[in-house]
Amino acid sequence: MSLSSPGRAASSAEDDRPALRRATALDPEVFAAEYWSRRPLLVRAADTGASFADLLTLADVDELLSRRGLRTPFLRMAKDGAVIDPKRFTTTGGAGAEVADQVSSDSVLRLFADGATVVLQGLHRLWPPVVEFADQLAADLGHPTQVNAYVTPPASRGFNPHYDVHDVFVLQVAGEKHWTIHEPVLTEPLRTQPWNDRAAAVAAAAEREPVIDAVLQPGDVLYLPRGYLHSATALGQISAHLTIGVHSVTRWAAAEQVLDQVRTLAADDPELRHAMPLGLDLSRPDVVADDVAAVVAGLRTWLDRVDPAAVAEALRARTWAQVRPQPVAPLAQSAAAAALDADTVLRLRPRLRVQLREPVADRVTLVGGRRNHDLPAATAPALAALVAAGELKVGDLPGLEPADQLTLARRLVTESVAVVPDAVAEPPLAATGHDGGHDAVGG
């Protein structure tokens, strides 16, 4: 049986799923049973810890807009439900930085003062505190996350009532915003079923009695399953909130993988490859009725041959490719890899999803996120020990000679599967080169 790690080190019950606990103020099991993908949840600041200032502040927003060389599509602006042309708030970066789509802070100022909402997109890739929280929440949920920030001038609304095709956690970070939430017009919509395809139904539903009509203040959280209609208006001061989108792994995603397998398997069926009759008249559906019936019957047969394990593996690969582990410090880890010794602590990269598969012949595969690492089978005991413990000294990697321990450790660090904690980007005066190791782990 393969050995897997969800990318979260063992922890006490109080620390289990910390980001989810903070966002919901509930035991994760209660949230899963009563709210997840079922109904909205409104949590007040008194229960969440009173503030999200550690994640983002208005001063942080100004920093991003004015000093970080931000480019589209990491910034959008909208007003009264309409997205503003990026050319109105971007320009070149000046001498030595002639990139045409860099954010123009003075243009943003003019538009914001005129009532436009600032949307900072992809903060789960840009702003370190948000990166950490979003990655932890993804690990807690088992589903990928993304984060946008919405900064709205007083008494303004950026977007009309709509629904999202992913679940969201709304974290109010500054000011106040009045939210109205309505029942879905389509429950649990897929990504191929956006709200604008049902704009008339959405507009009509938004006129009905809301299920939530509340003002969010700093520290408040609103959870919305995908499909719930929502709109928000800033009140008497600048309002800012983080929207954490949760890209749920759905049964439809499994269905897509099943259909992909059927498409591949059924191509081997000579009956399904058979040509339709000569002189075919497709304007008459009755002419092809028998052929269609034969196709449906044939596909049913192939559906029964789909391997659930293969479907699960395809879902794993697709989902893990979307989830980002904790970033590594390239310079510091490179220096640490060059200076490894038996006493160096090796830690599995935080939040990296890993799976050690059974050895095949003289090779073993370590799956790490979106990548597969092919290694000699002799390393399997050492890899299994690291995956199970999460952290080991290089000299404690079992089943290997000292030189092979170093070679494996160096490869794991340079491949970003493991990290050396507290490493700094200061290479030793006489950095050790590759020691050659033994063929057992050289790969």
Three-class SS of 51-118? CCCCCCCHHHHHHHHHHCCCECCCEEEEECCEECCHHHCEECCCCCCCCCCEECHHHHHHHHHCCCEE
Instruction: Look at strands 391-393 and 418-419 and give their pairing.
Output: unpaired
One digit per residue, the tens of pLDDT, for the chain of length 443 reads 467 666 543 333 446 899 999 999 999 999 999 999 999 999 999 998 878 999 999 999 999 999 988 899 999 999 987 899 999 999 887 777 778 888 999 999 999 999 999 999 999 999 999 999 999 999 899 999 999 999 999 988 767 899 999 999 999 999 999 999 999 999 999 999 999 999 999 999 999 999 999 999 999 999 999 999 999 888 989 999 999 999 999 999 999 999 999 999 999 999 999 898 888 888 888 888 999 999 999 999 999 999 999 999 999 888 888 888 888 999 999 999 999 999 999 999 988 899 999 999 999 999 998 899 999 999 999 999 999 999 999 999 999 999 999 999 999 999 999 999 988 766 555 444 444 444 445 55
Residues in the chain: 443
Closest C-alpha among 408, 414, 415, 351 to residue 384? 408
DSSP-derived secondary structure for 221-256: EEEE-TT-EEEEEE-SS-EEEEEEEE----HHHHHH
Q: How far apart are CA 50 and CA 312, in angstroms?
A: 40
What is the SS3 assignment for 404? helix
**Domains along the chain?**
3-246 (2.60.120.650), 251-319 (no CATH), 330-442 (3.90.930.40)
Specify whether the CB–CB gap between 390 and 421 falls below 8 A: no
pLDDT of residue 327: 87
In this structure, the dihedral spanned by the alpha carbons of residues 230, 202, 210 and 181, taken in order and rounded to 10 degrees, is -10
Q: How far apart are CA 384 and CA 357, in angstroms?
A: 9
Q: How far apart are CA 24 and CA 170, in angstroms?
A: 11
The model carries a pTM of: 0.82
